[in-house]
Amino acid sequence: MDELDSAIVRLLQADARQSNRELARKLGIAPSTCLERVRSLHRRGVIRGYHADIDPAALNRGTQALVSVQVRPLSRTVIDGFKSFAAGLPEVLHVFVLSGGDDFLLHVAVQDLDHLHAFLTDHLSKRTEVTGFRTSVVFQQVSNTSPVRLPGTD
């Protein structure tokens, strides 16, 4: 990545909704150059996509929890299978595959504590590969909205 690529990434992290023309104007380059650079960043996997930041509470999913999950036997098949299963559940916002005592951390959002309990009993406790899980209810969440630091910008 050169300085221009880094500048594009910084500007898109600040506002991914800006047009190519606006981005090019801020960078002082031709729109065609800007478009080709952004396409190249996509092809190289630097830019993975764009998304809207949705508040789960606004969708009646105001209760969030982090669920630590242990699975056995530890094999690629079991890990990949559980990861796919968990990622496909509508209650699950994020799936993290971990090292250490826990194998997975699931970030879930549900309507209320009754729905959290139902999620745990209906989905996790019935899985034969799940040997245990622990749940921590999230009281508050603060997100770091700072852009990802790029190499050479420290």
How many secondary structure helices (H) and strands (E) does the chain include? 5, 4
> 39: domain range?
3-43
Look at residue 5 in the predicted model and tell me its pLDDT: 94
Question: Tokens at residue 87, please?
Answer: 């990622």
Asked, for residue 15, whether it belongs to a domain, the answer is yes
Q: Are residues 86 and 123 in the same domain?
A: yes
Domain with residue 134: its CATH number is: 3.30.70.920
Asked, for residue 75, whether it belongs to a domain, the answer is yes
Q: Are residues 78 and 35 in the same domain?
A: no
Look at residue 3 in the predicted model and tell me its pLDDT: 92
DSSP string spanning 6-20? HHHHHHHHH-TTS-H
Asked, for residue 147, whether it belongs to a domain, the answer is no
Q: Are residues 36 and 64 in the same domain?
A: no
Asked, for residue 79, whether it belongs to a domain, the answer is yes
Q: Are residues 23 and 64 in the same domain?
A: no
Contact 111, 60 (CB under 8 A): yes
Q: Are residues 80 and 10 in the same domain?
A: no
Asked, for residue 54, whether it belongs to a domain, the answer is no
Look at residue 152 in the predicted model and tell me its pLDDT: 67
Q: Are residues 130 and 70 in the same domain?
A: yes
Look at residue 52 in the predicted model and tell me its pLDDT: 85
Look at residue 154 in the predicted model and tell me its pLDDT: 56
Asked, for residue 71, whether it belongs to a domain, the answer is yes
- Per the structure, how many domains does the chain have? 2
Q: Are residues 105 and 34 in the same domain?
A: no
Domain with residue 8: its CATH number is: 1.10.10.10
Number of other residues whose CB lies within 10 A of the CB of residue 5: 17
Mean pLDDT by 10 residues, the chain (154 residues): 92 92 97 97 95 90 97 96 98 97 97 98 97 97 78 63
